Amino acid sequence: MFEADADTQRMIDWAAAAGLPPLDSLPPEAARAQSAAGTAKTALELAPVAKVDNLDIEGPGDSLAVRIYHPKDAPEGPLPIILYYHGGGFVIGSIDTHDSIPRVLANHSSAIVVSVDYRLAPEHRYPAAVDDAEAAVLWAHEHGAAMGGDPTRLAVAGDSAGGNLAAVAALRVRDSVGSALVAQALLYPVTDHATLDRHASRQDHAETFPIRKPLMAWFHNHYFGHDEPMDEPDASPLHHPDLSGAAPAYVMTAGLDPLMDEGKAYADALQAAGVDVEYSCWETTIHGFLQMGQVIPAAEDALIEAAVFMKRRFAG
């Protein structure tokens, strides 16, 4: 097993000293507020971009809020478009809590990033978030030119639960969008809601901050409405029967993360299906470290790595 680096250990110690109640002991609204307050103290400072627009687009359930980031120092357009889905176990998180991440991705990929405020559970259970994720890709493909984007060069990206949504959306749009989706960046994604015992990291890091086993179960129950395993491909892309033809993928994991093994397993499964894959494990840090850049500076380096992957794919 890997050991925490000094920055990561400082983050773990800081969280322990805060003495806050576990998120899984709170109702969703209170958990959202507590998580957002913590993120405000640890996330990267907001990098300047050329322009930020807030927009409501048509969604499967109702209007769907998106935040659009235009990169600074970008070449002449039209620019590629990244659909970004925030993390938070499908229950917490928002385009506000994850405001720092799309800015780094936009500036270092020279792409427009559309951050999607998909519906959260338990108010909107599975598959509402999946439907929103797919709808956002289809919207960008149809309307991307109106914001200075190039609808023939799309990517999906997301962290944690958002990585799950990005992976599933990439599979759902293979026929409708086809070769226009040129990349997917999955940042410590959850890929398996079914066969949890097969992944040693789920056991090895069952008590590792920030997503201990009780919190993982809390997320699962709120998202699906029950505690039973879910092997449907839209819930667990690792169980998809056919991954061929998926967009080239960058898959990032963290070495001290319960999700490490299933992230690696998904990268391997994509590669076995003939998909081009770049795998990167940040061995000495934890799940969620991209939201801890003020304490764990590696967060920015990792985001830049993902952005550079997508930039290469946009260039063909």
Enzyme catalytic residues: 160, 257, 287
What is the Cα–Cα distance from 112 to 150, expressed in whole angstroms? 9
Single-letter amino acid code for the residue at 242:
D
What is the Cα–Cα distance from 205 to 203, expressed in whole angstroms? 5
> Taking the mean position of all CA atoms in its chain, how far away is CA 208?
20
Assign 3-class secondary structure to the chain: CCCCCHHHHHHHHHHHHHCCCCHHHCCHHHHHHHHHHHHHHHCCCCCCCCEEEEEEEECCCCEEEEEEEECCCCCCCCEEEEEEECCCCCCCCCCCCCCHHHHHHHHHHCCEEEEECCCCCCCCCCCHHHHHHHHHHHHHHHHHHHHCEEEEEEEEEEECHHHHHHHHHHHHCCCCCHHHEEEEEEECCCCCECCHHHCHHHHHCCCCCCCCHHHHHHHHHHHHCCCCCECCCCCCHHHCCCCCCCCCEEEEEECCCCCHHHHHHHHHHHHHCCCCEEEEEECCCCCCHHHCCCCCCHHHHHHHHHHHHHHHHHCC
> Both tokens of residue 131?
């439907």
